[in-house]
Structures are given as C-alpha cells and as structure tokens.
Amino acid sequence: MVEFGASDFDLKAVAGRIKTYTEERDGSQIATIRAAINSAQVIVVLGFGFHRQNVELLDIREASEAWKELFMTVMGIDEQNHRTMRNRMAESFKAVSHVSIAAVSSGEFLRKLQPSIGFAIS
C-alpha cells in the first residue's frame, strides 16, 4: 500500500501488485482488501468503471465503527447515473459520511481535490 502523497516508493513494484477484476480472485486477498477498506477513513476511487464485479469485490459486508469519506471519478459516465453510483458505492462501504464525485480524469481529480483529500486524511 502507498500512503496518499507519498513520493518515496518503488513504482514498478507497486504497479506489479495491481490486479484487475478479470484476474483470478484469491479469497485471502479479497479479505485483505476488505479489511483495508473497512479500516480506512478515506477512500479514493479512480478510473473504476463501476462494473458489478468491481463493486461487489469492494463490498465490505459489515459496517466498521469508522466513518469514511469517499472521493471518486465518474469520467465518461452520464450525469443521470451519478446518483446511482454514489448510492451504490456508499452502500458497499457502509459507513460513509461524505461522497465527492467528479467527471474528470484521475490526474485532474487529484490536482483539484488534493486539499479536500488532505484535510480528510488529517
């Protein structure tokens, strides 16, 4: 895992650990992913696509005690779907106090929302 704003990490090693939803799923990896989401205070979702398999993978099943702030991109998704995306993702992560969405690229999203994400983390 790479902390938000970190600059001292091996990008090649981190990139090598990225998995896509079409790759075989390991039950222990899914449990690890869900545990990380469950303990997170801030979740940033970039370039997600909102495919049912992706959303189900991130469904933590049981609510944690920690409220979460959710930031996500919805580039290329018609605005009429944004409310559904917001509600479904909040449902997956259970205890969500705030959702910020933007129909922009991941890079632009991070540039524009860096202050908000930073405040949410601190």
Q: Which amino acid is at 27?
A: G
- 30 lies in some domain: yes
| CATH code of the domain containing 38 | 3.40.1380
Its domain, for residue 77, covers 11-121
In a domain, 6, yes or no: no
pTM comes to 0.73
Query: Would you state the structure tokens that stand for residue 79, as one six-digit string?
Result: 């605005």
Q: Examine residue 3 and state whether it is found in any structural domain, yes or no.
A: no
Q: Which amino acid is at 103?
A: A
Judge whether 1 lies within some domain.
no
Can you tell me the distance from the alpha carbon of 75 to that of 73, in angstroms, rounded to the nearest whole number? Answer: 6
Structurally, the chain folds into a number of domains equal to: 1
- Mean pLDDT by runs of 10 across the 122 residues of the chain is 73 75 65 81 85 80 74 92 88 82 90 88 78
